[in-house]
Amino acid sequence: MPTLKFAVLAGDYIGPEVMAEALRVLGHVARQEGFALDYTEAAVGGAAIDRHGAALPESTLQTCAAADAILFGSVGGPKWEKLPPNQQPERAALLPLRKHFTLFANIRPGLLYRELADASPLKSERIPDGIDIVCIRELTGGLYFGQPKATTTLPDGDIQAVDTMVYRRSEIERITATAITAARARRKRLCSVDKANVLETSVLWRKTVTEYVAKHAPDVTLSHMYVDNAAMQLARDPNQFDVFVTENMFGDILSDEMAVICGSLGMLSSASLGAKQNSLGLPFGLYEPAGGTAPDIAGKSIANPCAQILSAALMLRYSFGLEKPAARIEAAVRAAVTSGTRTGDIAFGRPSVGTQAMADAVIARL
Ligand code: IPM
Ligand code: MG
């Protein structure tokens, strides 16, 4: 019986609540499909600051390094907001984790079921069939990590802060390769988003993506779009995109826009895949819901667990090569939601259920 070895980093606020349900769904599928779960829980984020004095303790890194994948909840919140910026959970846990494991490829599906079209702030007639697009965000380069990155007091007493946007050709090529794989699994249309009318990094980005696709993926139709236009086009007609690929900060911003037009953050999963292979020869990855810790609803058992459950499905697909169980979970979530079982974030005046009942409805359809 295959054994899935992964690290569970639930984090803060609703993180542990939705993680418990994702683990329950995974356990159910594992019994049905004949595989075993061997997971180790480790502290991360604010919870780790409280317990170990650091947002990403060495012991947690070791647990992750010994695993084939990381199932991640979410970190941060008001309790730790007074800490210096570089010690806050998001910056001191999530970013170093991404960097440590070179998780350069962030895959964010933007999926809105047709039956949930009224969850979107877009007019339903613009999205009669819902939304189905994918954002591929570069995750370990650009402004987030470039050096120098510092705040200094100048000789004249003024204060100056600097972040550096830097990309190497090799970094652009490897994220392009990920985007090509994603596009080939879909409609083979790839849009590269940049700001090549202003930024040097974007000029290199556009040239590199163009050459790489021409050489390695002539079957993929490539287009380019400036990021400001892309923000507008996403709101106007999201389904004109199939897969779009972009640098770190543009992807951070556009993926939030994508999330809101897809109705609820509570439904969106993500996968961050690395350069490193796991012990199965598949990509080591970190899987996390797109939404945050939602402190306002934490502790009430009303958070939507679907994004965490769908992130677990992505883990099965990418890091364990288990396509069938992954697809079964995705279908079960869809069936549960479209048949009317909804948490408050997607209920729209209809009766809503709590976190556990939502997961029960998914399990019932497996
Ligand atoms: C995301 C988040 C993170 C990011 C924050 C929490 C550091 O917004 O995953 O999109 O900016 O990458
Ligand atoms: Mg973000």
Mean pLDDT of 225-237: 97
> Across 68-180, where does the E strand assignment appear?
69-74, 105-112, 131-138, 146-153, 159-164
Is the pLDDT at 65 greater than 90? The verdict is: yes
pLDDT confidence of residue 1 = 79
Q: What is the pLDDT of residues 69-117, one digit of tens each?
A: 999 999 999 999 999 988 999 999 999 999 999 999 999 999 999 989 8
Tell me the pLDDT tens digit for each residue of 264-273. Answer: 888 999 999 9
Residue 339 predicted with pLDDT over 90 = yes
The CA–CA distances, whole Å, from 184 to 187, 190, 239, 277, 329 equal 7, 9, 17, 21, 22
Our mutation pick for probing the ligand 1 site, out of 56, 104, 252, 268, counting the most ligand atoms within 8 A of Cβ, is 252
Residue position matching structure tokens 């163009």: 210
Tens-digit pLDDT profile for residues 37-60: 999 999 999 999 999 999 999 999
Mean pLDDT calculated for residue range 205-218: 98
pLDDT at 155: 98
Closest ligand to the CA of 253: 2
- Does the CB atom of residue 103 touch ligand 1 within 6 A? no
Does 140 score more than 90 pLDDT? yes
Task: Calculate the alpha carbon distances from 160 to 91, 145, 149, 153, 329 in Å.
Answer: 21, 18, 11, 6, 49
Q: Is 252 in the pocket of ligand 1 (CB under 6 A)?
A: yes
**Which ligand 1 atom lies nearest to the CA of residue 288?**
9
Q: Kindly state if the Cβ of 68 falls inside 6 Å of ligand 1.
A: no
For ion ligand 2, residues whose CB falls within 5 Å: 252
- State both tokens at 16: 């542990």
Q: Is 330 in the pocket of ligand 1 (CB under 6 A)?
A: no
- The domains of the chain, with CATH numbers, are 1-120+264-366 (3.40.718.10), 123-261 (3.40.718.10)
Side-chain-facing half-sphere of 12: CA atoms under 13 Å:
28
pLDDT of residue 251: 97
What is the position in ligand 1's atom list of the atom closest to the CA of 95?
A: 7
Q: Which residues are catalytic?
A: 144, 195, 228, 252, 256
Mean pLDDT over each residue of the chain, to the nearest integer: 96
